[in-house]
Amino acid sequence: MPQSKQLMMNTNRLSLFPMQNSFLRLLLVLLLGVGNLQLSAQEKISLKQAISHALTYKADAIKAELEVKNADYQIAEARSGALPKLNVDGSLTYNPILQKTALPGDFLDAPGEIFMVPFGQKWGSNVGAQVEQALFNQQVFVGLKAARTTKEFYQVNQKLTDEQLIEKVATAYYEVLSTKSQLKTIDSSYANIEKVKRVISGLYDSGLAKKIDLDRTNVRLTNTKTSQIQLQKALEQKENALKFYIGMPIHRPILLEASDLEVNAPPLPAEIDVNQRTEIELMGKQKQLLEYQVQASKAALYPSLSLIGNYAWQATGDAFPIGKGKSDMVYWTDYAAIGLQLHIPIFNGLQTKAKINQNKIELESLKADLADSKLGMQMDYENAKAQIQSALSAIGNQEANLELAQSVFSDTQNNYQNGLASLTDLLEAETELVQARNNYTDAILDFKMAEIQLYKSQGDLEELIK
């Protein structure tokens, strides 16, 4: 009978004594309400919801999204090399001691003498602006292309991060469901052994059973209880791991959808196109970036041309120049210049050539990794197919074996009660039933793990949330 219904029946009985039991009635109602609140506080979550929560709140997903946004700023940074640059500079100088220069006396109608004459003014100031526009710079152009490809790289990396999260969440989700199923089996086993203990205890009290049979049953009951506690702790740890993977507070209670453990045989095509895998697409973007890196290193050998313009105001005088003019013996003048700046690299000790060769080696190494990854992904798919087929076969066998073990246990239990089977036979039958249930649960878990790897090898992990 459900706990809430039993409490209501007890409350109705207490209504026969309204005065004496009013406090107890209130207490039972409060307990009933608290029980309902605790039940409603437990959040039920499906695999699809768990994955959706992880893709929204998990740190890995958030960071991958931020990397995509940051790529826009990297593009803007690369584009800045092709845009004009404007700088304004200013200076203010005070010369307490002016440098003197030796002048021959011939210039001053004093042949044979040397005069030390100071040049310059006590104060000097300068403010000017410079604008520079790159007309040709191969490194800037290659860098802009590479920045755009970098954004595409981060977009693909975000997709791969999402797939990795889906795999982690799905694996943890199925492990929790499997452990719950095993715990349910242990609970059922404990209940069965308790029934056996009650029967043996009654027979022992009547002198129809031996004390050793009762002791053996107590030992079995204690061992089962220990396994029950251990499995409960393991379940809590796996639930905590699941909450961590989906970015959920660890203290929040959750209830999973048992229907997500249903077995549906997926299609198994003979071959797959590994080029559809996100990992291959990501390596393709890495290849493009390394190719741009080679081009950028080669661009260092190209000449560069820039347009430069300058305009400035300069003041000198014996007085502080700011805010003063000619009447204060401060003289202002401006000047401007426009020109082209050409840079032609000639020889840098073969540094650029060595860098280009290093970039080429990195590119060839990535090509080797790419070919090896494709071969490994084909192997993963074939292994996943074999695991799926093996798991489906095991599920069929274990399902039949579970039915047989249940039948054997029921018959043995009936025979024991009628004195036709020993306690050893009964306990062995119960052990085999528990083993059969666990084997069936393990077979389903193996199938779900193989299903995850199958979808992963096909590059279609999104199937898990459809």
Supply the pLDDT for residue 327: 84
pLDDT at 112 over 80: no
Note the pLDDT tens digit of each residue in 172-204: 999 999 999 999 999 988 998 888 888 888 878
Going by pLDDT thresholds of 50, 70 and 90, the confidence category of residue 42 is: low
Note the pLDDT tens digit of each residue in 117-151: 888 888 999 999 999 999 999 988 899 899 999 99
Supply the pLDDT for residue 107: 67
Compute the mean pLDDT over every residue in the chain, rounded to the nearest whole number. Answer: 85
Burial of 159 (0-12, 13-18, 19+ CB in 10 A): middle
Supply the pLDDT for residue 197: 85
Across the range 409-418, mean pLDDT stands at 86
Percent of the chain with pLDDT over 70: 91
Q: Which domains, and CATH codes, for the chain?
A: 44-83+137-178+224-302+349-465 (1.20.1600.10)
pTM of the model: 0.77
Supply the pLDDT for residue 202: 86
